[in-house]
A and B are shown apart, each in its own frame.
Chain A
Amino acid sequence: MQITKVVGCILIILSSALMGFYYSGELKSRVNNLKELRKLIVLLRGDIRYGNTPLPEAICAIARRHEGVFKGFFARVSEKLGENSGSTFAQVWAEAVNGELIQTSLNRKDKSGLVQFGENLGYLDKEMQLNTLDLYLSQLEDEISDLSKTVKEKSYLYSTLGIMAGIFISIILI
């Protein structure tokens, strides 16, 4: 009987600790995802600024060169744009954000920011594109710097809370 209780407690503590570590990992991964996204947007800006490259071509080039979590997203946008299927750029972009970024750690706010960014792309002149890209990059910068400041404490907090919650539940049950 005693052994069952001990095993049960260990399992509770273990699973709750794992949950804590998962959220802590997600937080770190979100920062990494945002940094990666920032890098890709900088590449997109470079292609537009230097080569005046149309969006499908620039996005396709990113999808080809990039091997990270956003590869599928950019590849899908590029493929859909090539189909000329009757959807606007913003629709294709939004569809890909909602369909291809499930595996990433971006939260709802990040995704809605990305969708809004897509709504202003391809519109008006080159200056407008660069302004849109710069604005989105500065938003990403702010988000990354805010997160980076707190990520250490928060991830430590999540991990500790996970273990502590496990111990707490175990004590109550015993």
Chain B
Amino acid sequence: MEGIYCFKKLDKPWGEICSMKTKDEVLKIFSLKLRAILGRLEIDFGGLQEIRLRINSPLAISYNNREYFVTENASLADNPSDGVIISKNEIRETMEYISNYSMYAFEEEIRQGFITISGGHRIGITGKTIIQDDAIKGMKHISYINVRLAHQVKGCADEVLPYLVDEKNRCIYHTLIISPPKCGKTTLLRDIIRQISDGSRYLPGINVGVVDERSEIGACYMGVPQNELGIRTDILDCCPKAKGMMMLIRSMSPQVIAVDEIGSREDLEAISHVISCGCKLIATVHGSSIEDIRSKPVLGELLQNRVFERYVILNNIKRIGHLSEICDTSGNRIYYSGY
């Protein structure tokens, strides 16, 4: 069976649909000089995956799964020596715009190493960490910035959804999306949320609660989600997952709870609580296979307890967002793409 390339289900390529919006959202965070260079680049921003700024190094981008260096004349080059060199000042100015002139407002995010900006784009940052009592208190001398562009791909869950619907109980299965980084698991989760919230031909719309710890799923900006998550979705923004799941159950009585990147002991307890309350859970996790997850200390327990009823495994062997396989609660394949 042929695998699903999540992006190919669209009538038009993603880039054509929203690349202008993405371009505007992304460019405004860069320093004036870099904004001018990147703005003149003749590329489709829909195919742009990453922009990397490293102090005293050339400006690099990841475009259509290939690395390029951006020259002073706004063209792409393979040779690093042709790339425009990023100065300390460019990094400082860019950081001011990323943090909205307010580094203090992103203390928690900086501790985690990334900031999510309007549009759901994730900015990874590294520099010199400040340690206090064996914990990371903050970061200074930020010298490396990685802008990872988020893509909202409506319709990318079309092929997955039929496998997740429990027709007997008119609900969905507890689902775990497993994929290595940069394989589109948040994108897939986002579209699953949208489709089960709005309703699809497989299931009428149901109430969904989203705990968006890193503002990546809904990409809320001043309380307004920038990504479409459906008409029956309540978003708890910037809230720790474990606490957020409990809060949502008490406050919004959702039928489905969706969270991104689970893995801690607290998450495990909250998941048990969610399931005991009769809510369905959709979660994502970093990993390459069910066996990989089984070997992890906390997540292994979840698999052992057969909490999840569906495992969706993505990879990027040929394309980003390639659906490799879907397994049931015992780990038996109910869908396999062949690679």
Chain B residues within 8 Å of A129, by CB: 104
**When chains A and B are docked, how far (Å) is the Cα of A84 from the Cα of B32?**
8
Chain B residues within 8 Å of A48, by CB: 104-105
Q: A57 within 8 Å of B by Cβ?
A: yes
Q: A72 within 8 Å of B by Cβ?
A: no
Contact between chains at A54 and B32 (CB < 8 Å) = no
**When chains A and B are docked, how far (Å) is the Cα of A89 from the Cα of B105?**
15
**When chains A and B are docked, how far (Å) is the Cα of A167 from the Cα of B319?**
92
Contact between chains at B101 and A86 (CB < 8 Å) = no
Contact between chains at A122 and B32 (CB < 8 Å) = no
**When chains A and B are docked, how far (Å) is the Cα of A83 from the Cα of B104?**
20
By size class, the interface of chain B is 10 to 19
**Selected contact of B97 from candidates A84, A123, A128, CB within 8 Å:** A84
Contact between chains at A55 and B100 (CB < 8 Å) = yes
Q: B102 within 8 Å of A by Cβ?
A: yes
**When chains A and B are docked, how far (Å) is the Cα of A48 from the Cα of B103?**
12
Chain B residues within 8 Å of A123, by CB: 103
Contact between chains at B101 and A81 (CB < 8 Å) = yes
Known interface pairs A54-B99, A57-B222, A125-B138. Does A86 touch B93 (Cβ–Cβ under 8 Å)?
A: yes
**When chains A and B are docked, how far (Å) is the Cα of A125 from the Cα of B93?**
18
Q: Chain A: how many interface residues by the 8 Å CB criterion? A: 20
Closest to B137 in A: A125
The A87-129 residues at the B interface (CB cut-off 8 A) are 88-89, 122-126, 128-129
Q: A52 within 8 Å of B by Cβ?
A: yes
Known interface pairs A84-B28, A86-B32, A86-B93. Does A57 touch B103 (Cβ–Cβ under 8 Å)?
A: no
Nearest CB on B from A69, distance (A)? 24
Nearest CB on B from A83, distance (A)? 9
Shortest beta-carbon contacts, A-B, top 7: A54-B102, A54-B100, A89-B101, A126-B104, A86-B32, A54-B105, A122-B101
- Assuming A56-B101, A122-B102, what are 17 further A-B pairs, CB within 8 angstroms? A48-B105, A54-B99, A54-B102, A55-B100, A55-B101, A55-B102, A81-B100, A81-B101, A84-B28, A86-B31, A86-B32, A89-B101, A122-B96, A122-B103, A125-B103, A125-B104, A128-B104
Chain A contact residues, CB within 8 Å of chain B:
48, 52-57, 81, 84-86, 88-89, 122-126, 128-129
